[in-house]
């Protein structure tokens, strides 16, 4: 990797987008070498259901501005977030949309992936609460392809953050998300 790589997670409160960004930032800063990382977040006053976004900037150089300007990668989990943030994607970048809550994809110059993130958490794992871990699995595959962060670094960061009794569920959710992206085709 050379230069700056911007990632944005966007959705609603309760979907774990902030934790996903914190884990991504930690994976890059703690488990990878020679990377500068900054993580920021923004959310509405509501605890659940309000607008939420979190960003991670990963760079080989010191970071002079801590916010995403033109994200290389976006993970978008709600229709409102899709309409608001998708157009900001760097031309030729990637957007991973959840196919349950995002039903109308904005026209943007990006590689779009419409994946069953929420449905995988609900139907395969039986827990909405791991939606963010499914999303992180997909992100791990992208960052692996871009040669920025190794999937095992993200998995280590997950296992270091989640409560002891949930490690297996979160690990399985990550693996499901990784496989979702690996087996997907962009639109």
DSSP strand pairing (110-115 vs 36-43): unpaired
Domains of the chain: 4-182 (3.40.920.10)
Distances (CA, A) of 19 to 48, 87, 130: 14, 24, 11
pLDDT of 67 reads: 95
Per-residue confidence (pLDDT) for residue 40, from 0 to 100: 94
Q: How far apart are CA 162 and CA 42, in angstroms?
A: 22
What was the pLDDT predicted at 43? 73
**pLDDT tens track, the chain, 187 positions:** 679 999 999 999 889 999 999 999 999 999 999 999 999 998 765 556 678 999 999 999 999 999 999 999 999 999 999 999 999 999 999 999 999 999 999 999 999 999 999 999 999 999 999 999 999 999 999 999 999 999 999 999 999 999 999 999 999 999 999 999 988 866 5
Alpha-carbon span 179 to 1, nearest angstrom:
23
pLDDT computed for residue 183 by the predictor: 85
User: What pLDDT, on the 0 to 100 scale, is given for residue 14?
Assistant: 85
Half-sphere exposure of 53 (CA within 13 A, CB side): 17
Query: If we measure between CA atoms, which residue out of 127, 130, 139 comes closest to residue 171?
Result: 130
pLDDT given at position 116? 97
Per-residue confidence (pLDDT) for residue 42, from 0 to 100:
84
Q: What whole-number distance in Å separates Cα of residue 37 and Cα of residue 4?
A: 10
List CB contacts of 107: < 8 A, sequence separation 6 or more.
Answer: none
Strand ranges in the chain using DSSP code E only, listed in sequence order: 4-12, 36-43, 51-59, 73-76, 93-98, 110-115
- Which two structure tokens, joined as six digits, stand for 99? 């196919």
How far does the chain reach from its first CA to its final CA, in angstroms? 25
């Amino acid at each position: 990797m050379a230069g700056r790589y911007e990632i944005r997670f966007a959705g609603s409160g309760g979907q774990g987008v902030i934790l996903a960004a914190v884990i991504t930032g930690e994976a890059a800063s703690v488990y990878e070498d020679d990377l500068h990382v900054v993580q920021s977040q923004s959310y509405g006053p509501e605890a659940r259901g309000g607008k939420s976004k979190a960003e991670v900037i990963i760079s080989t150089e010191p970071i002079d501005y801590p916010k995403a300007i033109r994200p290389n990668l976006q993970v978008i989990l709600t229709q409102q977030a899709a309409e608001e943030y998708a157009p900001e994607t760097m031309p030729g970048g990637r957007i991973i949309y959840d196919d349950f809550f995002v039903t109308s994809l904005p026209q943007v110059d990006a590689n779009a992936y419409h994946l069953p993130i929420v449905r995988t958490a609900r139907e395969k794992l039986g827990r909405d609460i791991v939606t963010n871990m499914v999303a992180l699995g997909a992100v791990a595959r992208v960052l692996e392809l871009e040669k920025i962060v190794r999937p095992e670094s993200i998995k280590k960061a997950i296992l270091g953050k989640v409560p002891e009794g949930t490690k297996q569920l979160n690990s399985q959710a990550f693996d499901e998300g990784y496989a979702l992206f690996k087996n997907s085709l962009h639109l």
